[in-house]
Amino acid sequence: MMARAQIAAYRKGIRPDAVEDAVVLALHGLQQSGTEPTEESVDAALQQVIDRHKTWTSAAPPPPVRGGAVPSSDPQESPGESAAGQQVQRQPIL
Q: pLDDT tens for residues 43-61?
A: 999 999 999 999 998 875 5
pTM for the model stands at 0.61
Which is nearest to 55 in space by CA: 30, 26, 22?
A: 22
Structure confidence by residue, pLDDT tens digits, 4-32: 999 999 999 999 999 999 999 999 999 99
**pLDDT value at residue 91:** 74
Distances (CA, A) of 16 to 26, 62, 72: 16, 14, 28
Least confident segment among 9-13, 14-18, 34-38, 65-69: 65-69
